[in-house]
Amino acid sequence: MSIAIYPGSFDPVTTGHVNLIERASKIFDHVIVCVLINSGKKTPLFSIDERVNMLECVTEGFHNVSVRYYDGLLVDFAKQEEANIIVRGLREMSDFDVELQMAQGNKAASDGTLETVFLPTDPNYSFVSSTMIREFANYHHICREFVPDIVAERLEEKVKSK
**Which residues of the chain form contacts with ligand PNS (CB under 6 A)?**
7-9, 36-38, 41, 73-74, 102, 105-106
Please list the helix, strand and coil fractions of the chain in percent, rounded to the nearest 5, in that order: 50, 20, 35
* Residue closer to ligand PNS (CB basis): 41 or 141: 41
Minimum distance of ligand PNS from residue 77's CB (angstroms): 8
Half-sphere exposure of 46 (CA within 13 A, CB side): 28
Q: Do residues 48 and 36 lie in contact, with contact meaning Cβ atoms separated by under 8 Å?
A: no
* Residue closer to ligand PNS (CB basis): 47 or 140: 47
Minimum distance of ligand PNS from residue 38's CB (angstroms): 4
* Residue 41 appears among annotated catalytic residues: yes
Minimum distance of ligand PNS from residue 141's CB (angstroms): 22
102: left (phi over 0), alpha (psi -120 to 50) or beta: alpha
* Residue 160 appears among annotated catalytic residues: no
Distance between CA atoms of residues 35 and 28, nearest Å: 19
Task: Find the residue with minimal CB distance to ligand PNS.
Answer: 8
* Residue 130 appears among annotated catalytic residues: yes
What is the CA 154 to chain-centroid distance, rounded?
Answer: 17
User: Which of the residues 9, 25, 110, 130 is marked catalytic?
Assistant: 130
154 sits in which H/E element? helix 149-160
* Residue closer to ligand PNS (CB basis): 101 or 140: 101
What DSSP designation does 122 have?
P
* Residue closer to ligand PNS (CB basis): 28 or 70: 70
Minimum distance of ligand PNS from residue 48's CB (angstroms): 12
Residue 162, helix vs strand vs coil? coil
Catalytic positions: 17, 41, 91, 130
